[in-house]
Structure 1
């Protein structure tokens, strides 16, 4: 996947949490990467198919697919039964399996205190290297800068609690390569026809 090229052109990633949001973002030519934060074992193949039919990248939050276990086999199921490009997870074993299967991997981390920051550093030192780390909440530029310095060169996505354009810009200035948001008014702020 040409992730870095895509996020340079449009650094706001659509994180969709229901069917209506998916429909809205599928109509856009500007949004190229979609984080799927909903679905179950029966409908996830169809969701991914619709995204791929529009020429977009489908990144599925493996932890949120209802009806599947939290074991590594969830990644095998998704790889075998969909055309997804990548997975999101908070679990090291899921990320490891995604890497083994050649999927794009997004490690989603909640950095709420010093202990969670230390745990993230240990995780990154363990040898399992996701393609990107998504830091939550994304409104913490200090943490973004710190992880960019100490995160083994792994790109950072800011996600969570981002509701304003200035917050998107602040996260990008702090070193995030992209921002994921469920706020649909921000999905299109970098489209070629929008005013920045």
Structure 2
């Protein structure tokens, strides 16, 4: 999927189902989301999950550190790129992002905002590696979107600790392109009203 097409698909619903449990796969398929971040599964089932979402025209990013039985090294990423064939991967590790990009996968760098040093290091890392998007966590500090946007032009997705519709809307008002949430009840929230 080309980068611009990915951003357009993300902007369709502006929310992403972060699927942490297999029991939520069906709910994510039926939900009004642009795509999914898969944080569940193992090497024996992950291709089937990816194919299922892709067949429904949803993008699929695998959080590679969360897939059971997958070694996150060059061979593991080659397996993902050549056999599983998701839209892309999510990782907290810049070396993984760099290797995935070489294999033609779209990438999302997950950055945890625990203090100003983590913010500075995360932005420097992203500006060096140039992932397709940054997922800032936790998503309940929407004003950080504006700060990070002054430091990089990489699109921002907010996720983590989001538990209400209002917490989903705030990051979008501050410039995020989408929000991700693992709460299935929020996958049906209409985010286009007033934004």
TM-score above 0.5, yes or no: yes
Alignment of 1:60-99 (within 5 A): 60-99=62-101
Deviation at 1:88, TM superposition (A): 0.4
CA distance in 2, matches of 1:190, 1:3: 20
User: Residue 143 of structure 1 corresponds to which residue in structure 2?
Assistant: 144
Calculate the TM-score normalised by the size of structure 2: 0.91
Q: Deviations over 1:136-155 (max 9, x none)?
A: 0011122211111102x100
User: Residue 108 of structure 2 corresponds to which residue in structure 1?
Assistant: 106
User: Residue 54 of structure 1 corresponds to which residue in structure 2?
Assistant: 56
CA distance in 2, matches of 1:75, 1:43: 16
Calculate the TM-score normalised by the size of structure 1: 0.91
Q: Give the unaligned 5+ runs of structure 1.
A: none
Deviation at 1:191, TM superposition (A): 8.1
CA distance in 2, matches of 1:60, 1:37: 7
CA distance in 2, matches of 1:191, 1:162: 14
CA distance in 1, matches of 2:59, 2:126: 25
Contact 2:9 2:34 in 1 (8 A): yes
Q: Does 1:158 align with 2:158?
A: yes
CA distance in 2, matches of 1:120, 1:185: 30
User: Residue 122 of structure 2 corresponds to which residue in structure 1?
Assistant: 120
**Farther off after superposition, 128-137 or 68-77:** 68-77
Give 1:11's match in structure 2, choosing from 9, 14, 26.
Answer: 14
CA distance in 1, matches of 2:180, 2:191: 15
Question: After TM superposition, which residue ranges in structure 1, 4 or more long, deviate above 6 angstroms?
Answer: none
SS in 2 for 1:124: helix
CA distance in 1, matches of 2:140, 2:113: 11
> RMSD in angstroms over aligned alpha carbons?
1.9
CA distance in 2, matches of 1:155, 1:72: 26
Contact 2:29 2:53 in 1 (8 A): yes
CA distance in 1, matches of 2:162, 2:191: 18
Contact 1:108 1:135 in 2 (8 A): yes
SS in 2 for 1:95: helix
Q: Deviations over 1:31-50 (max 9, x none)?
A: 23111011111111111121
